[in-house]
Amino acid sequence: MKTNLVNLVLGLAFTAGTVSCQSQKNNLVFEHQGDTVTIVHIAHSAKYLLLPIQEGSKEGQVKLETGSPADTEMDIRLAIDSVEYYVPFALTQDEGGATVTIRNVAADALCWDSIKVSDTFDTTNRDKFRPLYHHTPLYGWMNDANGLVYKDGEYHLYFQHNPYGSMWGNMHWGHSVSKDLVHWEHLDPAIARDTLGHIFSGSAIVDKNNSAGYGENTIIAFYTSHRNVPGGQSQVQSMAYSTDNGRTYTKYEQNPVLTPFDGLQNFRDPKVFWYEPEQKWIMIVSADKNMRFYSSANLKQWEYMSEFGEGFGPQPNQFECPDFIQLPVDGDRSKMKWVMIVNINPGFVYGGSGTMYFVGDFDGHRFVCDTKPEVVKWLDWGKDHYATVCFSNTDSRIIAVPWMSNWQYANYTPIQQFRSANALPRELSLYTGEDKQLYLSAAPVKETENLRKDSKKLDDFTVNGEKRFETLFENNDGAFELELQLTSAGKEAGFELLNSLGEKVRIYLDAAEGRVVMDRAESGIVDFGKKVKPHDLDTEESYARYKEVTVNYKNDFALGTWAPINTAKGHKVQVFVDNGSVELFVDGGRIAMTNLVFPNEPYNSLRFYSEGGEMKISDFTIYKLGL
């Protein structure tokens, strides 16, 4: 009966003269209507159409035809002459089969011989650089963390996700949950791209007082609906609600809930929070090189209040992914300050994207910064720390999660099954620096101690020259933590993470410049992504830094990063090494530095060195990490 149905469809198509070519394979019938449209008929019900991907190909448009106005095309890089991997395209569970329309893929492309139907999709890891204890998607692309919210013992981590390839596109909200911030359970995407556009970044709250009318303690998500329009783009704020503890969402039938009053095209990433003194909800939205504040009583109608940011921070920059948090000063809850987290791209001191912040006061309507516009405070000094946002509903704990990459090369890292990971969750606090200004510290959450599976406590030692530890752990798979106290009287003193191939990451104190440095120029695979010359860098400052740590002409990945530090003092140092990353924390997170690395084999030895003076190492423990 199904075969007859397919033959009937083909007969009608030939009669109409629309089909130039047809083929059949494994319950699939392809109608090639010229070289621009192909209709795929799936004769038997299956869960997935497995689509072959080639990342260098142009995007075709793929749509499941259900007859609903909500049917949405997905942009997918189908294989033209080489299959690199497969992605699952979900089908309706209909005994009569399914129909998929594919546009802008040539009739002679390899994909037509490679498409499969299946009720399963294998997510077993096949990528050598997948982290062992950092959060990643099972497959596909990931960037910004979204909608971080804690409820009923679960941390919900939503994220910008392309389930149809490991490059940016088709923005959905992917979804993972955890009870301890280190062990993550992968769930189905929670909010899918729709006819309003891509589902861009945003936030989620627990509506404890039923402000929106969907029930007490409903999780409500706010996100940017993005689509291209003639002459530019449209970005508006939308809302969805979940009544099953964040697993699935229903989109508000009158979306969008907020549009820019001046037609601004860069208007995105809503962060919503409750402002207790005035019993109202507040939304902060990225508005080009600015942040705008809105208020609401019911989470559906929003009133403009004020804006902040024009001319603040390094120039040029694009404000993105805001967060707005209140913290005690030096732990004293009688002294509270507001902190605006601003992710910018470009404008980071080492090029590309980075996370800065402003400290000040907020009266429920307007934010006033404590420092002048030219003062820049970085939350992390590494190249791979961006789109940092915080969990809501965690009471006094402020827990941030960054995306661990940089827009300069994020699409080109030497990974294919998935792309991108989140850096370790960090607990934020506000402290007074030696210059009497207020700064954020970002310490790895205490829950990371649950990753420790084995340890080696080493005796204190001094170095005036070098000292090596040849094997950290037998059968090392690349995941370990170093915790130590380092005091140096030398010009340059620190250590190298090494493997047997000579690949290394150097972490050291530079007394002459008063800085702590992480150099990944020889860390492994570094030659990928866009090539740059010094004059291509964002600012004179980044050019000067680039010249000091690279050789005339390298790519924008192979770069050392550093932060200012008082080298005359001793410092507590924590280093988290995973398969694909190194994260440095100094003095409980007063300095944080996050960088990707791609060694061809795991680092498994250490070389301590000191030049021009003695270095003391104490309280030194090495932990083997794992889930």
- The structure tokens listed for 363 are 């009266």
Q: Which of 113, 122, 127, 144 is catalytic?
A: 144
In this structure, are strands 492-498 and 98-103 parallel, antiparallel, or unpaired? unpaired
CA atoms within 13 Å, Cβ hemisphere of 530: 14
Long-range Cβ pairs for the range 19-27 (8 Å, 24+): 20/107, 21/107, 23/112, 25/113, 25/115, 26/116, 26/117, 27/117
Residue 134 and residue 404: Cα distance in Å, rounded? Answer: 10
The identity of residue 484, as a single letter, is L
Q: Nearest to residue 214, comparing CAs of 189, 174, 172, 250? A: 250
Q: Give phi and psi for 2, each to the nearest 5.
A: -70, -40
DSSP 315-334: SS--EEEEEEEEEEETTEEE
What six digits make up the tokens of 454?
A: 């084995």
| Cα dihedral 258, 264, 268, 274 in deg (nearest 10) | -50
* C-alpha separations of 550 from 327, 526, 553 in Å: 39, 12, 7
C-alpha 482/C-alpha 325 separation (Å) is 31
- Each residue of 31-47: b (16+ CB within 10 Å) or e? bbbeeebbbbbbbebbe
Pairing of strands 480-488, 615-625: antiparallel
CA 215 to CA 209: how far, in whole Å? 8
Decide: 400 and 112 in contact? Cβ < 8 Å.
no
Contact criterion met (CB below 8 Å) for 25 and 35:
no
β-pairing verdict for 418-419 and 140-151? parallel
Sequence-distant (6+) residues with CB within 8 A of 154 are 177, 178, 179, 245, 246
* Identity of the amino acid at 178: S
Print burial letters for 269-285: b (CB count within 10 Å at least 16), e (below 16): bbbbbbbeeeeebbbbb
377-380, Cβ contacts within 8 angstroms, sequence gap of 24 or more: 377/439, 377/440, 378/348, 378/349, 378/354, 378/563, 379/341, 379/355, 379/440, 379/442, 379/592, 380/354, 380/355, 380/442, 380/592, 380/593, 380/594
CA separation for the pair 537, 526 (Å, rounded): 18
Residue 218, CA distances (Å) to 160, 175, 247, 256, 382 in order: 22, 17, 12, 19, 37
Dist. CA 66–CA 73, nearest whole Å: 12
Spatial distance between the Cα atoms of 504 and 291, rounded to a whole number of angstroms: 41
How does strand 438-444 pair with strand 426-432?
antiparallel
| 299 phi-psi bin (left φ>0, alpha ψ -120 to 50, beta other) | left
State yes or no: is 207 an active-site residue.
no
Q: Could you tell me which of 277, 270, 318 has the C-alpha nearest to residue 294?
A: 270
- The residues annotated as belonging to the active site are 144
